[in-house]
A and B are shown apart, each in its own frame.
Chain A
Amino acid sequence: MTVDEIKNGVVIDHIKAGQAMEIYKFLGLDKFDCTVAIIKNAQSRRMGKKDIIKIDSDVVPDLSVLGYIDHNLTVNIIKDGANVSKYHPELPLEIVDIVKCKNPRCITSTEQELSHVFKLTDREHSVYRCIYCESKAKN
C-alpha cells in the first residue's frame, strides 16, 4: 500500500506498531484541519512492524510531546517536497495535560481545574515527576 508523498508537513516514522492513534491524540491532530495519513503495521527492517503518521500541513503542530512518548521515533520535516530536517525527538523538560497524576493524595485529585504538569527530573532514566506531589508519571 502506498500513500502519496506530501509536499509540506511532517512524517513521523518508526512509531511502535499500534501506537499511532495514541500519538494522533496526544498531538491533537483531531483538531487540525489538514490531511493526516496513518499507516499501520508497515514493514520495517529495523522494527519488523511499525506505524507512520504523515501530516500534510503548512503549519507544523507542536511536536514536543513526542520525546516523552518515544524518543526513538524519527521526525521528518518536509518543505516543498524535500526532507529538510530529520531528527529523533528530545525529552521535553515539561509536559502539560498529557498524563494525569494518579496519586490520590495529590491536590490535582480534588481540584479539577488544575493542569497536570510533569517535569523531567532524571534525564538518564527518563523520569517525570508531578510538580505538585512529585509522584512519578506512569503511562
Chain B
Amino acid sequence: MRHLIGIEDLSVAEIEDLIATAEDIIANPDKYSKVAAGKKLATLFYEPSTRTRLSFEAAMMELGGNVLGFSEAQSSSAAKGESVSDTAKVISCFADIMVMRHFKEGAPMVASMNASVPVINAGDGGHNHPTQTLTDLLTIKCEKGRLTDLTVGLCGDLKFGRTVHSLITALSRYTGIRFVLISPAELTLPEYVKSEVLDRRGIEYVETTSLDESLPELDILYMTRVQRERFFNEQDYIRLKDSYILTVDKLSLAKPDLCIMHPLPRVNEISVGVDADSRACYFKQVLYGKYIRMALIKMLLEEAAK
C-alpha cells in the first residue's frame, strides 16, 4: 500500500508525474471529474487547519468522490482515548483513502502502518507537510516553466519553518538551484539542513540578513511568517516580526518575472498592496494546492487498486 508521509517517499520521477497530471487537470478538468466516483476520502484532523482540510475536500469532490471526517480532536474518538493505530483500522473500514493532520510527530506514520487504505500526511506537528511541498513545486513549475536553474530566496523564519526545510530538500534534487537564505540571525536555517542537505548535495547557497540586497537576483521569493509562539519573550517577537516585510516599494528592486510565494496565512510580512502585482503568486498557490492534491489522490487510489 502506497502512502505519502514525507516528501522523500516520492521519487523525482513520481513528483514529475504528479506535476504532469496536475497540469493536465488544470487544462482538462472534465477528463478527471469521475476519477474518484464512488470513493470516499476521510479527513482526520486532530488539529484544526481549515485551509488544508478544505483543499483536500475540494480536491476529492472535483474528482467526483465524497468526503467524511472530523476537524478537531474533541469531536473524535481520540477524545475518548482511542489510539491512532485503532482509529486507522476503523477508518479503513469506512473510507478508500485517508488524510491525517495531527499535533504529534509521526502520527500519520503510525496510521499508515495500521491502515488498509492509503494515508496522506497533512501535517504532523512541526515535522512533515508533504502536500505543501508538492503545492510549492507545482506553483514553481507552472509559474516559471521549470524546476531547474533558479535562484530561490527564502525569507523570514528559516529556523522553525518546516515548509522551508522541506522545500529546500525537494528542490535540492534538481540541477542549477541556488538558494539565498534571508533571515534575522536568530532565525537562520538549522545547521543540520545545511550539512545534511545543502552541503552533502553540493548546492550553492548564501546567507544574508538583507531582503533589499537580495531581491534583484531572485527568480522566486518564498516568504514565511514569523510565528509568535516560537519566541520566549514578546519583545523579541515584536522586534523581529517587522524585519522582513515585502512592500510595493521594495518590489521595484525585483526582476519583472519574480514569483512571490507564501504558504499562508500571512500576518503582515507581505503588504496588501503587493497583492495586485502580477508577481504575487500566493493566492494562485492555494489553487495549485488543490490541483496537486487531486493528482495525488488519483495516484494513490490507482496504486491501491493494483
A107: CB under 8 A from chain B?
Answer: yes
B 69-85 contacts with A by CB, 8 A: 83-85
Q: How far is the CB of B83 from chain A (nearest CB, A)?
A: 5
CB pair B83–A113 under 8 Å, yes or no, is: yes
Return the contact of B105 from the options A106, A113, A114 (Cβ within 8 A): A106
Contact with B along A103-139 (1 / 0, CB 8 A): 1011111110110000000000000001111100000
Q: How far is the CB of A90 from chain B (nearest CB, A)?
A: 23
Q: How far is the CB of B169 from chain A (nearest CB, A)?
A: 12
CB pair A107–B126 under 8 Å, yes or no, is: no
How many A residues face the partner with a CB closer than 8 A? Answer: 15
- Residues of A contacting B83 in the complex (Cβ-Cβ under 8 angstroms): 111, 113
CB pair B127–A133 under 8 Å, yes or no, is: yes
Q: How far is the CB of A25 from chain B (nearest CB, A)?
A: 26
CB pair B105–A132 under 8 Å, yes or no, is: yes
- Residues of A contacting B109 in the complex (Cβ-Cβ under 8 angstroms): 107, 131-132
Contact with A along B113-139 (1 / 0, CB 8 A): 000000000001111000000000000
Contact with B along A36-47 (1 / 0, CB 8 A): 000000000000
CB pair B110–A109 under 8 Å, yes or no, is: no
CB pair B110–A134 under 8 Å, yes or no, is: no
B106: CB under 8 A from chain A?
Answer: yes
- Residues of A contacting B127 in the complex (Cβ-Cβ under 8 angstroms): 105, 133-134
Q: Which residue of B lies closest to A108 (CB)?
A: B106
Contact with A along B85-129 (1 / 0, CB 8 A): 100000000000000001111110110000000000000111100
Most buried by B among A103, A107, A111, A132: A107
Q: Which residue of A lies closest to B105 (CB)?
A: A133
CB pair A111–B84 under 8 Å, yes or no, is: yes
CA A109 to CA B105, docked complex, whole Å: 10
| In the complex with contacts A132-B105, A132-B110, A105-B125 CB distance below 8 A | yes
- Residues of B contacting A134 in the complex (Cβ-Cβ under 8 angstroms): 105, 127
Residues of B within 8 A of A (CB): 83-85, 102-107, 109-110, 124-127
In the complex, 26 of the A-B residue pairs with CB atoms within 8 angstroms, ordered by the A residue number, are: A105-B103, A105-B104, A105-B125, A105-B127, A106-B105, A107-B102, A107-B104, A107-B106, A108-B106, A109-B104, A110-B104, A111-B83, A111-B84, A111-B110, A113-B83, A113-B85, A114-B85, A132-B105, A132-B106, A132-B107, A132-B109, A132-B110, A133-B106, A133-B125, A133-B127, A134-B105
List 9 A-B pairs, minimum CB-CB distance, nearest first: A132-B106, A133-B105, A107-B106, A107-B104, A133-B106, A107-B107, A105-B105, A105-B125, A132-B109
> Beyond A105-B104, A107-B102, A111-B85: 6 further Cβ-contacts under 8 Å?
A105-B103, A132-B105, A132-B107, A132-B110, A133-B127, A134-B105
